[in-house]
Structure formats: C-alpha cells, structure tokens
Structure 1
Amino acid sequence: MIRFPVLRRLALSLVAALVLAPAAPALAWPQAVPASAAPASAPAHIELSAPDGRAIDVSVWRAADERGVVVFSHGYNGSPAAYGRILSEWVDAGFTVVAPLHVDSLRHPRHAEFDGPAAFTTRIVDLAVVRGFVKAEHAGKPIVAAGHSFGSLMSTIAGGARTVAGPQGDPAVRAVVALSSAGDLQGVILPDSYAGLTVPTLMITGDDDLVPQYVTDWRAHRSAFDRSPAGGKMLLVFEGGDHSLIRNADEADFDLIARASTAFMEAHALGDPEALATLEALAAPDGVTIERR
C-alpha cells in the first residue's frame, strides 16, 4: 500500500534528480496529435480519486470482446491520446486500454502545480489506483502494464522493478510492454533495479533512441532486458528508430511492432499457445534485430 507521507519524503529526496526536471524538452511528447494517430473511437473518461483526494482523469478504450486489460502510462509531458495508433491495435485485438493522464502532462489542468519529483511519485499512485479500478471493474481479466519512455519505467516498476521508491510491483501484472524507456535515470534506477522484473517483458527501441542529456547511448534502453532474470524476455531493436518510434514508424515497422506486442500479450497475459508459437517463430526483417532470453 502506498502512503502519501512516505511519497512526500521521497519526493523531497529526489529534488536533485534533474532527469525529472519539468523543463526537460527531450522528454516532452508533442501536444498536437496527428489525426492519423487518433483511435477509431473516442475513449470514455472516468475520474478516480487518489488517496489525497487528487482527481485522476482516466481514458478508457473498451474492447468489444474483452480478453484482457492494458494499463498504459504515457511519456513525460505527453497524454494517452498521442498513442492512438498503437492503442487501437490492442483494442481491436481484445485488450481494453485504461490510461491515466499524469500530472506532468502538458494537457493536465494542474500541470504547473507539480515539480519533477512529484511527477514520479504521483505516477506510482495513479497507476496503483487505476489497477485497483481494473481489478474491481474488470475482475478476472489479465492485466498488462505498458508505457512509453517515462511510462515505460512505470510499467517495469509495476512488473517488479525496484527503484529508489522501493518495491512497488503488482502481482496481478502478467506481462510488461516497454516502448523505449527513460534510460538509467540517475538517482532513480539502482544497480539491481531489474532483478525483480520476473514477469515476461517486451522491450522495443531503436539504435537512434536518444534523449539529449539523459540517454546518450541507446543501449541504456536495453537495461530492463539485459539486467532482469531470463525467461519471457524479448527485445526488438529497429535500425534508425528514435525515441518517437512508436509514433513515427513507417508502415512496415509499425506493423511488426503491432504484431509483436499483440502476440506477446496474448502469449504471456492470456496464455495463448498459438500466440506463443507465433512469437517464437517471429523472424527479424532487414533493419531489425530480435533477441530473446
């Protein structure tokens, strides 16, 4: 259980962690969302309450034939709506997507009230509250933790990764899908952060996936794959893929991302043997490498 006095003390201890500074443009997701990125249908919006009374706006894309639920965390300064291209694929495959709007989002009405450390601590709370809602309202449905960039870090935390916030994993999470990552954030990531990431994890990145000042070597995005226990781990690396790969991938690359991530969730969250066979047989086309552990 997350207690706010503890989180407040943690936030103060993280003030020096400049990697989370609100002014960092490299971690910002564009506010303008291309029409082509919008989901086939607009999401429903629900409002959940954080333990301190803070309102959490949550977008819900309900799958017509729901088989599982993806709890999705957007990138720093971003919003769920910016990821409609991939979220639509998952919804069509039977995964309801539930995605909170975090306080660091430039679209959040209280954005200016929260500093960088608060962005980290409130995200942990947001996602715990959302998973609690999913367990109550979608009882019995497998949960996948997914995210992009900063949200990718949050998904690995839900899957068992331990940061300076301590263990915040949720045993209900069956699989993790990490789109890029926030890198090995100084003051946040520990040498053994990924030792507890035992659930199946898919990492998708590119060899141009850089974040000025924070990720100067794209290989930092491999950390969750390389430093977690073997078993159910998969890494896709796209030649020329940058930090916005999930948004700007060409049709061929995006098709592979959609197929691989959907099959991964079906195989590991739903226990689908056919999807697992498809995943294991997935071959890398030119310009892409696939690794498994």
Structure 2
Amino acid sequence: MLIRVLAAGLLLSVAPMTAAVAQTAPAAAAPAFEARHLMIPAPDGRTIDISVWAAPEERGVIVFSSGFNSAPAAYHRILSEWVSHGYTVVAPLHVDSLQHPDHDKYDNRAAFSTRIMDVAVARGVARHIAPGKPMIAAGHSFGSLISAIEGGAVTVAGPHGDPEIKGVIELSSPGIIQGLVTPTTWEGLDKPLLVITGDKDVVPGFATDWHDHRAAFDGSPAGDKTLLIFADGDHSLIARADDADFATIVEATEAFLDAYALGDAAAKARLNALPAPDGVTIERR
C-alpha cells in the first residue's frame, strides 16, 4: 500500500515532464531499423508488448525504458544508432504510455510497479534471444530511474537490481523524487554509469533545479561514473539535440557500451579521454 501511494504522488508529478517530451519533439524520419513485437505474458496477468530491434552483428543487448506517457519508438533516433553499433534493443511498452491500448484501465499508481515487472520480463526476453550477450540498462526520464534500479539503486520499494546488468545509461533522469528516492538510494548503484542532462533540464512543477538530474552521478559510489551536461539542453535533449550535440551523445554512449558491456579497454580509454566540445561539460568520478 505504501508503495502504491508513493507511486501515485510521483507520477502525478512526472506527467507534465513527459508531455513536454511528446509535444515538443520535432517530426523525424522513419527508423533505420524496424522493431518486431513480442507479446509476452506477465506474472500479473497482463500481456507486455516488447519491441525488439535486432542488431545485424549483435555484440550485446540493451534493455530500454521510455519516459512516462511515451513509447519505445519515440526514441528511434538514438536506438537506431545503438542497433547499428551492434546492440540489440529490447524495450517494453509500459501501461502509462499514451500508446498502450489499455492505458485508460490503469491509474498512475500502477506505473511504478508495472514498470519494474516490465523490465524484468524484458531482461528475460533479452536472455532468451541473445543468450550469453552482455546486458546494459538504459532509459529516459522516469525510465532512467527504472534503469538505475536495475543497476542496483534502491528506492523505498526495496532492491530490484539484476547482477547481470553491466552498466546504466541515464538520459535526463527524473531528478529527486520525494517519497520514493531516499538519501541512500544511489549507494547501491555500484555499476558503471553514464548520465546525460542539460542546464535547462527542468520541468515546471516537478524538477525546478536541473542539478537534481545529476543525483545518481553524485550519490553513487565513485568509479566508472561519467556525466555530460549540455548547455541549453532541456528534458527533450535526446529527441531535439542538434547534429553536433547528438554526435557527442552517440560517441559517449557507444564508447560506454563497448567499454562496460564488452570490457573493451580501448573504448574505456576513449570514454575517459572524450573531449568536451563547446557547450558541453564532462565530469568523471
């Protein structure tokens, strides 16, 4: 009951943030890769629509969680880059998505608990379709919190980490969520972490200080942690970044993937030596 109440408060606050992502993202070209859809039964009786973008030359797999009210296909710009780089993407359609056929059957209280279940099922799918391949958790906004939990972050809901997760990519985290995130939440996030945000990454009525988006970077154990801050980058950065900024995001995320999914020492060296272009600040700890 406690978790349901906390989730209700959280998601009422998150809603404006995801609306901004959905409504301000520009029209984009068709995805470079088409997803196939797997309809997987969940332990709670639901059926989860899981999108799978298969990498032609698969080296690893990414379990991706989208932002609140959003859907996996909305992120095809970055997902296509990762797929072409050799990482199959497995992404559930969460019940809070406006594209979910049963969206109206669920209130905001259901979103947190069903998301935890969704990504657990998605990891099972990833193990089945890419046996033995290393796994990274990634997400945007609310989805980045879910991914951090997969990597060991512990909220009031308790631990839901997966020891097989090799690293976590957070794209514009939801910030500090009162009643869910605790002062010790990030202490369990001892996996490699890449956080990408901007100094305009605020959401009126929810995240009024962009510095909150660096909480996982600042609060998790030091070692293999990287933070990129884009000048004028807002909560829709991953969708709206110009070509130069997007190229930096691709370079950083792909170096992170190779370094920590594949254990590629040269990729880790590239990530650690990645220069900060004009308008980008890079921190490491």
TM-score with structure 1 setting the length? 0.93
Name the residue aligned to 1:19. 10
Deviations 1:82-124 (A, max 9, x none): 1010001100100000110000000001111112221011000
Deviations 1:181-239 (A, max 9, x none): 11111111011000000000000000000011111000000100000000110000000
**Aligned CA-pair RMSD:** 1.6
The separation in 1 between residues aligned to 2:25 and 2:276, in whole angstroms, is 30
Name the residue aligned to 2:248. 256
Structure 1 counterpart of 2:261, which letter? Answer: A
Name the residue aligned to 2:140. 148
Describe the shift of the 1:160–1:38 C-alpha distance in structure 2 as closer, same or farther (beyond 3 A). Answer: farther
Unpaired stretches in structure 2, ≥5 consecutive residues: none
Name the residue aligned to 2:281. 289
Q: Number of matched residues?
A: 284
The separation in 2 between residues aligned to 1:172 and 1:187, in whole angstroms, is 28
Report deviation, 1:63: 0.2
Describe the shift of the 1:62–1:31 C-alpha distance in structure 2 as closer, same or farther (beyond 3 A). Answer: farther
Unpaired stretches in structure 1, ≥5 consecutive residues: 1-8
Q: Contact 1:75–1:151 (CA<8 Å) still a contact in 2?
A: yes
Name the residue aligned to 1:166. 158
The separation in 1 between residues aligned to 2:111 and 2:163, in whole angstroms, is 24
Q: Given the alignment, which residue of 80, 84, 89 partners 2:72?
A: 80
Q: Given the alignment, which residue of 35, 44, 53 partners 1:61?
A: 53
Structure 1 counterpart of 2:229, which letter? Answer: V
TM-score with structure 2 setting the length? 0.96
Q: Does 1:46 align with 2:46?
A: no
Map 1:186-201 to 2 at 5 A: 186-201=178-193
Q: Contact 1:22–1:104 (CA<8 Å) still a contact in 2?
A: no
Name the residue aligned to 1:5. none
The separation in 1 between residues aligned to 2:275 and 2:14, in whole angstroms, is 40
Q: Given the alignment, which residue of 205, 211, 223 partners 2:203?
A: 211
Q: Taking every aligned residue pair, what percent have the same amino acid on both sides? A: 59
Q: Contact 2:25–2:236 (CA<8 Å) still a contact in 1?
A: no
Describe the shift of the 1:37–1:150 C-alpha distance in structure 2 as closer, same or farther (beyond 3 A). Answer: farther
Runs of 4+ residues over 6 Å off in structure 1? none
Q: Contact 1:38–1:82 (CA<8 Å) still a contact in 2?
A: no
